[in-house]
Structure 1
């Protein structure tokens, strides 16, 4: 007698780079269990590491993931509340007893609203899912596969990686070079406050702490410093406290954002340039990877510092792939994702502020001075998002409008048009009917405004 058909499960939470959806209709304990089970089977894993962010739904989803992993016959090591970068670290570093992990999962929805959650997944060595172990294959397993418990279930245990990770972080800088900076830090009630507290005794800094305690209800709103309304509190605190700089994070603190000593937000594009300078001083002649949205400044900085620049399609899996192929020391996206070769090519939201505070101390210059020339030479727009009914039609319209005027056309990631004194990248959102625009010019803020207005008029009329 044939077995009854396997019930199908909703998989709308599977996105381009990770799992993310509203709880409980898109992501719940049943789906989380199946993801844990399916991931363990997909990897043929023996040991997986699991952690979670500060969201109210995260502990229950984490328990479900761990139960699914164990049901598949795989062991699960639970490292507790953490940032995504701590899952990356545990996955590639292993524990102090020499245990290695076949992959890792962080239950987090980053900067999404409080009623969302998600899962970020990596393979052994903290490598992104690819090839025979990609997200589409996991999605198919979760949707349709019959998941029978293994004859010998795996075991679950807890392990604390905090001290091990603290040691790793402090190896990135020379504390003898640090000055006693005053720094405003805004965790946005996400998880970054824990890392700041752990490193505080090891650093000569005075931290002025805003929204420091984790709170999955997000009383001040979702922790997303890219939103203009979320920047004012940090900027004001920098000015009021006469701080040397301000730092803010998203919920799982894999991205960090900077404010100069005058409380002005520093666009992530120029932070990429600054970190490229810093890493090329430490590793002369190395390769630097950047995304295709904005890059004139990055290429100029890298060339001046004696490095080589490489472009990658936007997204962590693509950036990491190019970095590994080029053995690049650093990769940066203007969205504040910063990737480091010596962190298994993964993105990290703590290493950037450690490197930049060391650089500020050594140069004995304010942050505004260190980025002023880059901002003057290559002014840029913030990323502009516009909702449209037919993104492909709008891209076709823009391409036709400028046909023959551009000096170069790029299609690596959306549509890139380059002219003598300005360039634009226009790309579709992976998840919404949105177009995302990024423009830059060569030392011409007036031209930037003019071309921004012209492109918006093309899109909206």
Structure 2
């Protein structure tokens, strides 16, 4: 006999994950429905669940777990944990799926969920994720053959920390002072376990911890280091402590951001190029997946290192699918998501800074030494977001102006138009109601600024 809940319109299912405003789009009832739907649609018998440090995450996680248990799935509960810990535990311990309750860097009145299947593989947006949304909205759930059980799973963190530390050779690390800013998000407790593992392996690293304790009130603002207004705190601390580099994370720490020893923020696309070249030194001819927003430096570094560049749509579901299909060893997005074949094709905000520390040690160079010339050779605007009354009309005006003059057009993800010495990408966000613009050039920062201004004027009408 079908267990009937009244149908409900659910508006928090986005392109490939769940994001919604609390109380109107996402609440405990929706979380319960998602749990029931996940267990039923995937016939899941064991599911990993984690949550971030937001004030509403414990309540939503509890409702989600009830739904999973009522749907017959046993839950291994990570408690407070990063999204990548959920990915790792799902794949490493052979679960049927995993769910992280998190809104990442979204405003404080939002929350959400990131969901994966067995092996930490993303749900297919057009089939599996859409089916999950239909089940959750319809509310007619088949009775489960058994009642699922839940148990805490703290032992997963030690296995995760060991796997992350395995990405580098601790004996190759030179003494270094690293400032880390957890933003009062989820990263702090997990970082401490990784730091202890590195110390056990003999890595001579000194860490300066900033905003390290998890605090649901986010006293220093939502942890989103990509926003320019959030960067001075880390930059100033790097300079004040004489750190060799700075690292800052977003709320669920699946993204990490870098600052060199002068406190200069390093845009994500330059780290993608740097890590691509580092992987290609160890794996000549390998494939590297990247997103289409800012590509000139990445393409050049992959080509110079003898690799094969593979372009994929923005978003973890699309990058991971492209990596699995191509067998790429690494994938990167300019938004600071970094994906690793040997981390179950999942993204991590902890592995990248370890790889950068190892690279600085092996090269005996600073981050500025490695990247200053690249930043001058391929200047970019940074991502600019627009909230527009008529996004389609605004984008059409830009395309009408620049499309006929372009040497190349690519519609893989939004619209990319490329010219002799510059290019831009204009796209709707997969997770927020905004249009995003990125402009870049070959060695001409003034051209980037001029074209950015032209396109902004067209977008604003």
TM-score (norm 1): 0.95
Q: How many Å apart are 1:460 and its aligned residue?
A: 2.4
Q: Which residue of 2 aligns with 1:322?
A: 322
| Cα separation, 2, equivalents of 1:347 and 1:300 | 23
Q: Which residue of 2 aligns with 1:145?
A: 139
1:90-119 deviations in whole A, cap 9, x for unaligned?
01110xxxxx21100111111122332211
| Cα separation, 1, equivalents of 2:195 and 2:103 | 27
| CA gap 1:307/1:431 in 2 versus in 1, 3 angstroms | closer
| CA gap 1:369/1:41 in 2 versus in 1, 3 angstroms | same
Please, which moves more after superposition, 167-176 or 20-29?
Answer: 20-29
Show the 5 A alignment for 1:230-241. Answer: 230-241=230-241
SS at match of 2:123: coil
| Cα separation, 2, equivalents of 1:303 and 1:207 | 35
| Cα separation, 2, equivalents of 1:162 and 1:431 | 28
| CA gap 1:434/1:111 in 2 versus in 1, 3 angstroms | closer
Q: Which residue of 2 aligns with 1:57?
A: 56
SS at match of 2:405: coil
Show the 5 A alignment for 1:78-117. Answer: 78-94=77-93, 100-117=94-111
Q: Which residue of 2 aligns with 1:36?
A: 35
| CA gap 1:357/1:431 in 2 versus in 1, 3 angstroms | closer
1:165 is the counterpart of 2:165: no
Q: Which residue of 2 aligns with 1:435?
A: 435
Q: How many Å apart are 1:433 and its aligned residue?
A: 4.8
Q: Which residue of 1 aligns with 2:66?
A: 67
Q: How many Å apart are 1:84 and its aligned residue?
A: 0.3
SS at match of 1:254: coil
1:122 is the counterpart of 2:121: no
CA contact (8 A) 2:46 2:96 kept: yes
Please, which moves more after superposition, 427-436 or 328-337?
Answer: 427-436
CA contact (8 A) 2:84 2:348 kept: yes
| CA gap 1:86/1:3 in 2 versus in 1, 3 angstroms | closer
CA contact (8 A) 1:114 1:216 kept: no
Please, which moves more after superposition, 393-402 or 366-375?
Answer: 393-402
Show the 5 A alignment for 1:202-281. Answer: 202=198, 203-281=203-281
| Cα separation, 2, equivalents of 1:146 and 1:241 | 58
| CA gap 1:88/1:233 in 2 versus in 1, 3 angstroms | same
| CA gap 1:144/1:67 in 2 versus in 1, 3 angstroms | same
| CA gap 1:79/1:403 in 2 versus in 1, 3 angstroms | closer
CA contact (8 A) 2:8 2:139 kept: no
Residue 175 (structure 1) aligned to one of 157, 164, 170? 170
1:198 is the counterpart of 2:193: yes
1:172-219 deviations in whole A, cap 9, x for unaligned?
000011111111111000111112211223232111111100011111
Q: Which residue of 2 aligns with 1:420?
A: 420
Q: Which residue of 2 aligns with 1:97?
A: none
Q: How many Å apart are 1:50 and its aligned residue?
A: 0.9
CA contact (8 A) 1:422 1:439 kept: yes
Unaligned runs of 5+ in 2: none
Please, which moves more after superposition, 4-13 or 432-441?
Answer: 4-13
CA contact (8 A) 1:108 1:117 kept: yes
Q: Which residue of 1 aligns with 2:374?
A: 374
SS at match of 1:130: coil
Give the aligned CA root-mean-square deviation in angstroms: 1.7
